[in-house]
Structures are given as structure tokens and as C-alpha cells.
Structure 1
Amino acid sequence: MIKHTGVALIALFLCVSSVQAKELGNFGMTYRIAERDALAEIEERAKQVDWHKVLDKRKVENFQGPPDRVRLPRAKRNRSFPVDMTYTTEIDVPDGKGGVLYPKGYTFNPLDYVTYPKTLVVIDGTDPEQVKWFAASEYDKRLDVTLLLTGGSFGAVSKRISRPLFYADRKIVERLKLQAVPSVVRQKGRIMEVTEVKLTKGIGTPAQGRKESP
């Protein structure tokens, strides 16, 4: 039960698109997240492959993310708000043995069953100040952080950030109720907490001050 629920959790808000694991034209692959650490495995494999040799270099550098990406405004203040991950299934979820694990209409909170160890940092890759902020922040050095872009050229951003780049599509933005970027998302008990970060104008560093509520 716990394993299957963990799979559902990952499927709900980690269906991230990356230049490493996204179909680009007529080549490339799409990976299904099947285990809690699958994203970490994808990242590890990505580090071991020279994708500029495997794929057309121009395709990679010009990749702009999924077509349903959502442009979000820059955060105007420091604030945090909770996101309830309770989910109601829209179809019968099979158990892989010919039966039904969760029937259509079943409601549950995946975070009641599993702990999500990653911290998600979401930025707009078309904003140089946000890219600069991430590159200079503690998040760029942490192995437990996954960077998601709401937009921006893979080639341009990868020149500033030496780690795998992933893209947040509309489903991710809506599921996490993202409203502005940069945003930092982490689990807090039974909810996911989204923290918006206001950047100090012109220097790409977090503004100092009291964190506000919504």
C-alpha cells in the first residue's frame, strides 16, 4: 500500500520535463517515475552522459521547455503558504495484478503515507536575475534540490548553472498552486509549503525582511 501510494505521490507532482528525459522531435525518451528515488536516478544518469554528443547540439541549446509551460510573475514579497496535496482519483487506479488499487472518486493525501525528501526550486529561466540568484544560493550546492524552470532556453541557463535542468509544465504549476517565482517548495508534515522569494533589485539576491503570510 505504501509503495503504491508513494508512486502516486511522485506521479502527481513530479511529472517534470527535462531536456534529458523529454522527447525532442523524433528522438529522446520520456521516463515514467516508478520509484521514490527515480528522479535522483535520472539526474545521476544525466550526469554520466554527454547529451551534446547524443542529441543535436542546436536542438538541446534551443530547447525552451514543454509547450504548456506557464509564465509566472516575479515574487513581489517574501511569503509562504500551504498547499494541500489531497487528491481525488479521476479513474480506477489498477494494482498491477488485475484488480483496482484505488477506485475512481477515492480521495487521499499521499503525504499521509510517504515523505518527499526533495526540495523544489522554481525559477523563470528567461529572467537573468533569477538565474543569478539560484547560481549564488545554497540551493545550487545541495544534492536534495531539484531545479524547475517555468521557461528559458536550456542552452542559455545551462551556461550559468552546472546541474540538470528540468521544466515545470502547467500541471505542475497548478498542482502546487504556484503564483510567483522564485518559489521554494518542500514538505511540511501533511502539506507542501511554497515559499516565494523576493529578489533585491539588480543584484539577484534574496531581499531581507520578515516572511509574510498570504
Structure 2
Amino acid sequence: MTIRNGLAAIGLMVCVSSAQAKELGTFGMTYRIAERDALAEIEERARQVDWHKVLDKQKVENFQGPPDRVRLPRAKRNRSFPVDMTYTTEIDVPDGKGGILYPKGYTFNPLDYVTYPKTLVVIDGTDADQVKWFAASEYDKRLDVTLLLTGGSFGAVSKKISRPLFYADRKIVERLKLQAVPSVVRQKGRIMEVTEVKLTKIIGTPAHGRKGAP
């Protein structure tokens, strides 16, 4: 099972790795972002399950995801909305010299420091139409896409989709403000944009003739 490797490869805001300021030139004193940011937290939540232990204890076909997963309704319309990833530190961040680098309550937007080039697609794995939609869409073929399930059998979905699967727990759903599925999440400047996809009645059409994918 290569779930950990898959997450490392996408590097998930699942995957901006730890947030660092990118080089824009020097304008006075500069610091690396030392506090865990919202994007890194989502990544951590997505990969925190010890998959090897899970698979040792039970058959993969029966695994249903983390206990705090959140079931979301099917999208009723096509719509997009912005998500502000601004993050507020929950502790004082030391500077390593006995002082405070970032005080508790310091607020910043990690997207001011990093770029997240990947696309997240979130579906309900218990909904056969959503699984078919993803399998027939361009997303199933793209290397820059990470698939997250809000529910569903790992084994059953794996048989229909030939790519690594991950689960969205409550923290991920809350961070990205997900309200319905399928949802496609990508960075747009200083915000993440969530696009909900209303499925058409025609499900499972070939990728080149698909409907419903933005």
C-alpha cells in the first residue's frame, strides 16, 4: 500500500509540505513560518491513519475510513465559493533564543507563502454515481489530483478507481468548509476555491464525453 508515498509525492494541503516563505527578495528581517499552518494541518489529518495497522487488523474491503468522518449531501447545483485559509496560532511560537517569534493569536494566510499546485476531489464513496463520475472524469487520469472520500469501503472503491484513496475526516471538512459532494478544491490566488458538481443523469460516460466535471 503506497498511501504515505502518495501523500509525500503530492508534497496534500493536503500537500503543501510545511509552510515556508518563498524567496521574494530581502526586505528587512525575514522569518520562516514556524507554526503549523492550516494547510499542513489538513495534510497531517489526511495521513494520520496508520494504514499498515489498519490493514493488518481487518480486511481492506471492510475499512470504512476514520471514525470522525463526515457524511455530506450530494451537490444540488453547480457552484463555486472561496475559502479563506487564514490561520491563527494557538500557542506562542518561540524563536529559539528565549523570545517569542509569533505570539498566540498571530494571524496569517499560508497561501501568501506557499503555492499549492494540486487539485483535491472529494466524493462520497458510498454513492455509486459519484464513484462512477470520478472514474469517468479527467480527474482519475491526472497525476496532480488527490482523491478524498467522505465515506465508503476502501476495498469496494479501490476496485472501481485505480489510484490511491484517502479519507477526509471532520477537521479536513471543516478547514475546507465543504458542504456537499462531489467537490473540487484548488488554489486561486490567496484563497482556495471549492467547486461543487451537480451530477447529471448520465453517469459513467467515457472521459472524453463526460458531463458534470468543471
Task: Calculate the TM-score normalised by the size of structure 2.
Answer: 0.70
CA distance in structure 1 between the aligned counterparts of 2:148 and 2:29, rounded to whole angstroms? 19
The CA deviation at 1:62 is 1.1
CA contact (8 A) 1:5 1:110 kept: no
Counterpart of 2:159?
159
CA distance in structure 2 between the aligned counterparts of 1:175 and 1:55, rounded to whole angstroms? 28
Q: Which has the higher contact order (CA 8 A, sep 6+)?
A: 1
CA distance in structure 1 between the aligned counterparts of 2:111 and 2:18, rounded to whole angstroms? 25
CA contact (8 A) 1:116 1:187 kept: yes
CA contact (8 A) 1:125 1:149 kept: yes
Q: 1:2 to 1:181 in 2, by over 3 A?
A: closer
CA contact (8 A) 2:120 2:147 kept: yes
CA distance in structure 1 between the aligned counterparts of 2:90 and 2:9, rounded to whole angstroms? 15
- Cα distance per residue 1:37-65 (max 9 Å; x no partner): 99999999999999899943843221111
Identity within the alignment, %? 90
Counterpart of 1:187?
187
Q: 1:11 to 1:27 in 2, by over 3 A?
A: farther
- Cα distance per residue 1:119-171 (max 9 Å; x no partner): 00000000000000000100000111000000001000000011110000001
Provide the alpha-carbon RMSD of the alignment: 11.6
Q: 1:160 to 1:114 in 2, by over 3 A?
A: same
CA contact (8 A) 2:136 2:207 kept: no
CA distance in structure 2 between the aligned counterparts of 1:47 and 1:81, rounded to whole angstroms? 26
Q: Which moved more, 1:48-57 or 1:195-204?
A: 48-57
Gaps of 5+ in 1: none
- Cα distance per residue 1:58-113 (max 9 Å; x no partner): 43221111111000000000000000111111122456787654321000000011
Q: 1:204 to 1:93 in 2, by over 3 A?
A: farther
CA distance in structure 1 between the aligned counterparts of 2:149 and 2:138, rounded to whole angstroms? 17
Q: 1:138 to 1:33 in 2, by over 3 A?
A: farther
Matches within 5 A, 1:46-61: 55-56=55-56, 58-61=58-61
CA contact (8 A) 1:18 1:165 kept: no
Q: 1:50 to 1:63 in 2, by over 3 A?
A: closer
Task: Calculate the TM-score normalised by the size of structure 1.
Answer: 0.70
Matches within 5 A, 1:58-207: 58-94=58-94, 100-201=100-201, 203=203
CA contact (8 A) 2:197 2:213 kept: no
The CA deviation at 1:201 is 2.4
Q: 1:32 to 1:121 in 2, by over 3 A?
A: farther
The CA deviation at 1:207 is 14
CA contact (8 A) 1:125 1:131 kept: yes
Counterpart of 1:42?
42
Structure with bigger gyration radius = 2
Q: Which moved more, 1:43-52 or 1:87-96?
A: 43-52
CA contact (8 A) 1:199 1:205 kept: no
